[in-house]
């Protein structure tokens, strides 16, 4: 995860006032267009959610070698922002009584118990979802490559992965871990008696949301292509490029969505967070654990609670932040993720807020 965005929260009232203004989407479009031009980003998409109002903007093309414009239906890879979906599916099983946050991993998979590292004997679903299970991060390619996978089915691959990961040394509690979410997905599918892939697909289809597993241009070349830097040049990764995440890692960060449907997903959470009961599943997902809860990070700035998450595999970037008190959410997609592109995402959001303030002041004058 990258740095938390440094929003000027004194401007949230400004955004709320402007959320009713039909100029909002045009503002997003123009700011995105300026940002991609200045920072050499092939495409960006963004959405601002307030209450029941959702405004979208897009700019650029699916790749730096294409003239095809992105739209609000173009899929982008959301990477680790997939973890919020994994958490949500876990809470569905909790609500059905099939799981609890305190369910130990090894109570469902006793065959994974070994004498190599007893620290893992008592880890729970709660530990895995909040990055407190002390399992290795598996956020880099060299870590992933050290695991030998021979099975064919993803459920079997995850079991094979788990048997090796649970023999490795522990890391500090709070270490961000893709491996932890792979283990959590095993618990979810075991309790549901259905593969994680099928569970997530069923949820997306029930919502009528478009999606793909893996990089979206591998599904359809008309969706956004990821880009990275080679020899100081921004290079588009073609559908047949070797780079991809192992398919058994879906729960950790391999979902692709369009800006319109992803904004509706955030809207669902904003609405759910209006119930301030601490036992409400949305409150638990976002705020039960300080700093990093279940699929969401959280903090307090200027007295306001906010939750957030960023995701990237180095070729796309997704940022999302929610301010439930103001019924506000902001998300940004990009199909490039070099450091300068990430800085541009944060800069663009600041520019968006400032521009909204100018328009509101003009309307009130």
CB atoms within 10 A of CB 347: 15
Enumerate the domain spans of the chain: 9-81+198-364, 85-194
Distance between CA atoms of residues 86 and 145, nearest Å: 23
CB atoms within 10 A of CB 67: 7
DSSP for 243-308, written as a single string = ----GGGHHHH-EEEEHHHHHHHHHHHHHHTT---TTSHHHHHHHSSSSB-SS-EEEEETTEEEEE
Per-residue pLDDT of the chain (365 residues; tens, 9 = 90+): 444 444 544 445 445 444 444 577 888 899 999 999 999 999 999 998 888 888 889 999 999 999 999 999 999 999 999 999 999 999 999 999 999 999 999 999 999 999 888 999 999 999 999 999 999 999 988 889 889 999 999 999 999 999 999 999 999 999 999 999 999 999 999 999 999 999 999 999 999 999 999 999 999 999 999 999 999 999 999 999 999 999 999 999 999 999 999 999 999 999 999 998 888 999 999 999 999 999 999 999 889 999 999 999 999 999 999 999 989 889 999 999 999 999 999 988 777 766 555 544 555 55
Token reading at 339: 């450091």
* CATH tag, 9-81+198-364: 3.40.710.10
Angle 105-106-112 (CA atoms, 0-180°, nearest 5)?
115
pLDDT of residue 22: 57
Whose structure tokens read 């949301």? Answer: 209
Token reading at 1: 């995860």
What is the assigned CATH class of domain 85-194?
Answer: alpha beta
CB atoms within 10 A of CB 239: 13
Token reading at 58: 């897009």
Question: Which of 41, 93, 152, 31 is closest to 294 using CA atoms?
Answer: 93
């Amino acid at each position: 995860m990258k740095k938390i965005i440094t929003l000027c929260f004194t401007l949230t009232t400004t955004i709320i006032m402007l959320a009713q203004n039909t100029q909002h989407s045009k503002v997003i479009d123009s700011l995105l267009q300026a940002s991609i031009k200045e920072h050499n980003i092939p495409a960006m998409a963004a959405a601002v959610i307030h209450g029941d109002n959702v405004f979208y903007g897009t700019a650029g093309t699916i790749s730096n070698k294409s003239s095809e414009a992105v739209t609000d239906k173009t899929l982008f890879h959301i990477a680790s922002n997939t973890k919020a979906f994994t958490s949500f599916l876990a809470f569905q099983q909790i609500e059905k009584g099939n799981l609890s946050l305190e369910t130990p991993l090894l109570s469902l998979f006793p065959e994974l118990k070994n004498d190599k590292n007893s620290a893992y004997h008592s880890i729970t679903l709660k530990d895995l979802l909040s990055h407190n299970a002390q399992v290795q991060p598996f956020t880099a390619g060299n870590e992933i490559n050290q695991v030998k996978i021979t099975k064919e089915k993803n459920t079997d691959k995850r079991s094979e992965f788990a048997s090796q990961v649970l023999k490795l040394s522990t890391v500090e509690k709070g270490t961000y871990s893709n491996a932890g979410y792979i283990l959590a997905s095993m618990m979810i599918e075991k309790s549901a008696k259905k593969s994680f892939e099928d569970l997530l697909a069923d949820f997306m289809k029930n919502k009528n949301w478009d999606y793909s597993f893996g990089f979206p241009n591998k599904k359809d070349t008309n969706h956004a292509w990821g880009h990275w830097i080679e020899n100081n040049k921004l290079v588009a990764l073609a559908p047949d490029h070797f780079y991809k995440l192992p398919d058994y890692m879906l729960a950790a960060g391999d979902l692709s969505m369009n800006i319109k449907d992803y904004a509706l997903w955030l809207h669902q959470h904003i609405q759910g967070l209006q119930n301030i009961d601490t036992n409400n599943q949305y409150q638990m997902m976002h705020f039960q654990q300080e700093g990093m809860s279940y699929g969401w990070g959280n903090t307090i700035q200027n007295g306001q609670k906010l939750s957030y998450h960023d995701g990237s595999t180095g070729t796309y970037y997704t940022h999302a932040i929610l301010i439930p008190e103001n019924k506000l959410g902001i998300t940004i997609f990009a199909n490039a993720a070099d450091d300068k592109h990430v800085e541009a995402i944060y800069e663009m959001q600041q520019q968006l807020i400032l521009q909204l303030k100018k328009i509101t002041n003009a309307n009130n004058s």
